[in-house]
């Protein structure tokens, strides 16, 4: 008879906010500590005053991913360059293995990947929080926050919303 013991402290992928331009260094430090860390990078050309150079830069500025237990998540937060866990509904968010694998697959298939913030005029739907389900239009974008115009009940509400809570609507 095989008894399967359920892991009471499973490892799950978590996202962490980092200080600007510290992503790759954090990933290396955490990997040296034996943690499974993913910092997706893309190769891009940059123009310096005297030449062009190809560099590898993080796909998600200010974020790294780590597959950790709850205790290891707390240890990651001790790194001076990690600012906080990415939260979902007020709790540290979990990322499915399939989502990390999808990012890896895309980057294995092509390096022609580009991240763009939502542009003013983009129609969006709020995916979580107090305004969940509200439809609106992006007015402006700054860092991770978007100002969104939501028209409802013949009133116009303008709210600042975390961009991670917005879904772009297809035209």
Phi/psi at 26 (5° precision): -60, -45
Q: What is the pLDDT of residue 157?
A: 73
pTM recorded for the entire structure: 0.68
pLDDT surpassing 50 at residue 2: no
Exposed/middle/buried for 160, CB within 10 Å: 0-12, 13-18, 19+? exposed
pLDDT surpassing 60 at residue 6: no
Q: Are strands 145-152 and 87-88 parallel, antiparallel or unpaired?
A: unpaired
| Distance, CA of 72 to CA of 69 (rounded, Å) | 5
Average pLDDT of the segment spanning 2-24: 79
CB 162 within 8 A of CB 144: yes
Percent of the chain scored above 90 by pLDDT? 33
Place of tokens 């940059």: 46
Q: What is the pLDDT of residue 78?
A: 96
Average pLDDT of the segment spanning 139-153: 77
Which tokens belong to 91?
């709790």
Strand, coil or helix: 23: helix
């Amino acid at each position: 008879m095989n008894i399967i013991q359920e892991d009471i402290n499973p490892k799950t992928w978590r996202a962490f906010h980092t200080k600007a331009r510290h992503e790759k260094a954090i990933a290396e430090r955490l990997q040296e500590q034996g943690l499974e860390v993913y910092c997706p990078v893309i190769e891009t050309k940059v123009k310096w005053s005297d030449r062009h150079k190809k560099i590898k830069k993080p796909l998600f500025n200010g974020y790294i991913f780590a597959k950790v237990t709850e205790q290891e998540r707390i240890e990651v937060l001790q790194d001076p360059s990690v600012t906080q866990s990415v939260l979902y509904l007020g709790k540290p968010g979990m990322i499915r293995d399939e989502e990390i694998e999808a990012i890896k697959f895309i980057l294995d298939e092509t390096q022609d990947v580009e991240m763009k913030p939502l542009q003013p005029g983009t129609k969006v739907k709020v995916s979580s929080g107090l305004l969940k389900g509200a439809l609106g239009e992006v007015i402006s974008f700054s860092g991770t926050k978007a100002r969104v115009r939501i028209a409802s009940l013949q009133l116009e509400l303008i709210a600042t919303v975390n961009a991670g809570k917005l879904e772009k609507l297809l035209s």
